[in-house]
């Protein structure tokens, strides 16, 4: 009996082509590749879980909680410093959803443009609106809206978001694109992230307490890379694989002073710079180029 394999669409196409070239008559093996919608969702979820590399106990717990949260359509708030895996956790939470993962940075919007980015608009709704756009919520139908830097929303936009986040009895949300009185119901889920303490902001009146309660049904906290020294080599090697860089870049010792400045994005940038400038290791790059990169200690 053939074993059904679950792989990504890209892997499936490559595997099928290789099989056909090797044996054009063996159609049975080609049919054993499972590319059903649920199989692809499962494969995507496994890839998202594998992308967050950690041996740190608290981060492993955060990862586990994200996996558990992925099985229910419930609001999740992810907190922690910049570059510590909030986006990866959000993608793990999204992993079981059949729709799209739609990220949206909440910083710097006017009220009108915030509503447009979230709910969409119709052509002519405001200057520059030359065509209809769906907005993040409708684009994430049956998927996930990931609202990053939610703490940066001014109080006026927090009030608008709170109204949108009032679910209907069937769990859907009602949105109205800017420029039309028409409404549409959408099934989606929301994940929020911030590097600030929302509860403290709410206590000071800088963030609505009722909105905080609405978006933080589940709370997941990330750990700074500075407290995860054992994770640095693992993440560095994973980043090398992601960017097709030689793994030797991740070998050697990183000065302890550098850990204070590192986050995952900084580590990624350092590896890319080291490879581009011809260094054999991140250690030698940091030693030789410290004057040009003071942020690394």
Q: What is the pLDDT of residues 121-177, one digit of tens each?
A: 877 767 777 688 888 999 999 999 999 999 999 999 999 999 999 999 998 999 988
Predicted pLDDT of residue 27:
47
The residue among 142 and 13 whose pLDDT is bigger is 142
Predicted pLDDT of residue 4:
41
pLDDT interval class at 3 (50, 70, 90)? very low
The residue among 32 and 2 whose pLDDT is bigger is 32
- The whole-model pTM stands at 0.82
Mean pLDDT over the full length of the chain: 84
Least confident interval from 34-43, 61-70, 264-273:
34-43
Q: What angle do CA 189, 210, 182 make, to 5 degrees?
A: 55
- Pick from 90, 81, 86: which is nearest to 225 by CA? 81
**What's the rounded mean pLDDT across residues 204-230?**
94
The residue among 130 and 192 whose pLDDT is bigger is 192
The residue among 22 and 163 whose pLDDT is bigger is 163
Does the domain at 53-221 match CATH 3.40.50.300? Answer given as yes
Predicted pLDDT of residue 182:
87
Longest dimension (CA), the chain: 71
Predicted pLDDT of residue 126:
73
DSSP 142-198: TSEEEEESGGGS-HHHHHHHHHHT---TTS-EEE--BT-S--EEE--EEEEEESS-H
Please give the C-alpha separations between residue 217 and each of 33, 72, 275, in angstroms, as whole numbers. 38, 11, 43
The token pair at 93 is: 């939470």
Q: Alpha-carbon distance 212 to 103, whole Å?
A: 19
Dihedral Cα 135, 138, 144, 148, nearest 10 deg = 20
Predicted pLDDT of residue 15:
52
Is pLDDT at 289 greater than 80 in this prediction? yes
Is pLDDT at 10 greater than 90 in this prediction? no
Predicted pLDDT of residue 152:
95
* CB hemisphere CA count around 285 (13 angstroms): 24
pLDDT in tens, 252-285: 777 666 666 678 888 898 899 999 999 998 888 8
Predicted pLDDT of residue 131:
82
The residue among 58 and 252 whose pLDDT is bigger is 58
**What's the rounded mean pLDDT across residues 14-35?**
51
Least confident interval from 20-24, 139-143, 178-182:
20-24
- Pick from 147, 45, 48, 159: which is nearest to 98 by CA? 45
Q: Alpha-carbon distance 187 to 177, whole Å?
A: 16
Exposed, middle or buried: residue 189 (CB in 10 Å: 0-12, 13-18, 19+)? buried
Q: Alpha-carbon distance 119 to 139, whole Å?
A: 9
Is pLDDT at 211 greater than 50 in this prediction? yes
Percent of the chain with pLDDT over 90: 48
């Amino acid at each position: 009996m053939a074993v059904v394999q679950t792989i990504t669409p890209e892997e499936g196409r490559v595997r099928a082509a290789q099989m056909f070239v090797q044996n054009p008559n063996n159609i049975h093996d080609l049919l054993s590749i499972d590319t059903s919608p649920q199989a692809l969702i499962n494969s995507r979820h496994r890839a998202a879980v594998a992308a967050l590399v950690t041996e740190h106990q608290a981060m492993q717990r955060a990862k586990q909680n994200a996996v558990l949260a992925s099985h229910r359509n419930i609001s999740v708030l992810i907190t922690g410093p910049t570059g510590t895996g909030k986006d990866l956790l959000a993608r793990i939470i999204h992993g079981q959803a059949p729709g799209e993962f739609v990220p949206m940075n909440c910083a710097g919007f006017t009220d009108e443009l915030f509503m447009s980015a979230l709910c969409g608009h119709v052509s002519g709704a405001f200057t520059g609106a030359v065509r209809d756009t769906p907005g993040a919520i409708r684009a994430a139908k049956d998927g996930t809206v990931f609202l990053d830097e939610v703490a940066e929303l001014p109080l006026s936009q927090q009030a608008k978001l709170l109204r949108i986040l009032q679910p209907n009895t069937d769990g859907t949300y009602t949105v109205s694109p800017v420029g039309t009185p028409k409404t549409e119901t959408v099934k989606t889920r929301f994940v929020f992230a911030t590097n600030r303490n929302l509860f403290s902001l709410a206590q000071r009146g800088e963030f609505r307490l009722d909105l905080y309660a609405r978006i933080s049904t589940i709370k997941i906290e990330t750990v700074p890379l500075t407290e995860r020294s054992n994770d640095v080599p693992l993440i560095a090697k994973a980043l090398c694989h992601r960017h097709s860089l030689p793994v030797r870049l991740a070998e050697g010792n990183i000065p302890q002073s550098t850990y204070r400045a590192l986050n995952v994005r900084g580590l990624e940038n350092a590896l890319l710079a080291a490879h581009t400038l011809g260094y054999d290791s991140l250690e030698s790059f940091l030693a030789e180029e410290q004057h040009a990169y003071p942020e690394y200690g």
